[in-house]
A and B are shown apart, each in its own frame.
Chain A
Amino acid sequence: MNAVAARDSHGPRMQPKPGRISEHKPAIEEVHILWITGGLGCDGDSVSITAASQPSLEDVMLGAIPGLPKVHLHNPVLAYTVGDEFMAPFHKAARGELDNFVLVLEGSIPNEKISGDGYWAAYGTDPQTGNPITIPEWLDRLTPKALAVVTAGTCAAYGGIHAMKGNATGCMGVADYLGWDWKSKAGLPIVNVPGCPVQPDNFMETLLYLLRQLAGLAPMIPIDEAGRPKWLFEKTVHEGCDRAGYFEQGDFTHEYGSPKCLVKIGCWGPVVQCNVPKRGWMAGIGGCPNVGGICIGCTMPGFPDKFMPFMDPPPGSTLSSNLIKPYGALIRALRPLTNATLNAEPKWRHNRPNLTTGYQPPQ
């Protein structure tokens, strides 16, 4: 970048610097990823991330991206080891014997202050007491020692479905438990990658960013006020939706199975931050509204309560869709005129024995 700037400002082209292989040793050699799926959840986020290809799980595990530290993944859904052997790194980390680890949480955090001698959700057994170790206990043990804390999916980020009104467990997201201003010992805030489940590449890309940051190759991860990576969540569903053109033309469907805009049948896309329509679900394929699924706001902190009852039109959509109607109707009437012109070929394309293209031979 400096070389480019220098060249531009100094006018005449300078001799370029000789190329060099820029890969250098990461600031930390090895990182453990401790992934706890034991919150209230369905393991759907773990299953989801195996669909990622940008980067894929194996890209990160096998070191296919330059500059990454060596990654050791400890995730129960994907583990090779079992039982005590599987749990060993978690206990080791809690004792402070694991130098560098990133903690990934999946599932919402139940309120164990109300579960008495029992537990709502637990992960492993305390060798001393023989009792199950609750998820808040794990957070207390591990978060002070973690380089970073990342949530995979809406449950761990904000509570999600289990945390809706009337639930028995009083559950919440990780930041609700630790505090929204929590920082890791490396100075990182909680990084939330919401979604139900998390979009595979969104999660793996965030993890890759963090690994690169920990390796000294990237600046502090930019996140918004809800802890989401900015570059992934700053746009709305609507802004990336391939049906937004129908909205602009005031063309709304009132039944499912139509290619038109879904706002009137319950799509919250205009006010939900999510890149899935733009990015697709995987390999550019799918994405809820693209294939006819209304957006129910599954990436949002207010999910699900603030989007219910599902399938009812969002209250605010009446105003916007009514306002767009006269404009849309006019535009829909005018555009076919231009479109018809564009659908007709220029008249000089013919096989008559004369040239009508307007070509003038040089004199």
Chain B
Amino acid sequence: MSTARMSTLATLRGSIERLEQGAAHDLNKIALGHAAADSVLQGGLAVAAVHEVFAEGHQSATATGFIAGLAGRVSSRRPLVWVRQDFSEIEAGALSMSGLAELGLDPRLLVTVRAADTDAALRTAADALACDALGAVVLEVWGQARQLDLVASRKLTLAAQASGVTALLLRVAAEPRPSTAETRWIVRAAHSPPSAPSMPAAPWSAWGAPVFDAQLVRNRHGPVGRWIMEWNCDESQFSEPASHPQPVVATPARRPHQAEAFSLQRRAS
């Protein structure tokens, strides 16, 4: 092979590398807080990219919680625009600000756009993505939207890359289709962790923080995986599921003798 050809190949390789780096745009990643997921994602969720979250129709609240968590992680005290269709509000209820506040997110930073249909929602989301003052844009689309094809997804990706705003697509009751998303998740509800052994079983035991069964089905720059993730409302990040649904007090080193009759672990009041 001639030297000239070798050098041409090297130049081409170099330019492809540069192109790929540009496309990946992965300089900026924000850790989700769940160690296993973060290591698979090589540091966390990429900002300035499109991420898709899919869920079945009856799992809409779970998926909403998951995407709210992602948005909370990536937007970091910047305004959040939530674009949704009229239909999804009828079907799955409106996004509740008190619920959002309970998850540790700030309702003051949220601007909701009530789009009438998918076309308007998509267009609004693309507009919002071009505004670099935002932290993230959530686009909530119900059902298999014909308009959300590869072209639309590419447009969103380009807009996100240009402005540095993260686009999060919540696709409830939809089947995954080819897209330019950086990651794609399928989310289901997971059980609360089992109660403390000392507590009597079942119905009256309380449940704790939201727990998601999150399956990473697509990752453009790495492997995929499936984890049970818990959203920690106080620290506003994901974490490994706790062993108990509610905080447990540590066993004191020295206990008063009256307490010895009780079990070793006690639920905090």
Q: Do A and B come from one complex?
A: no
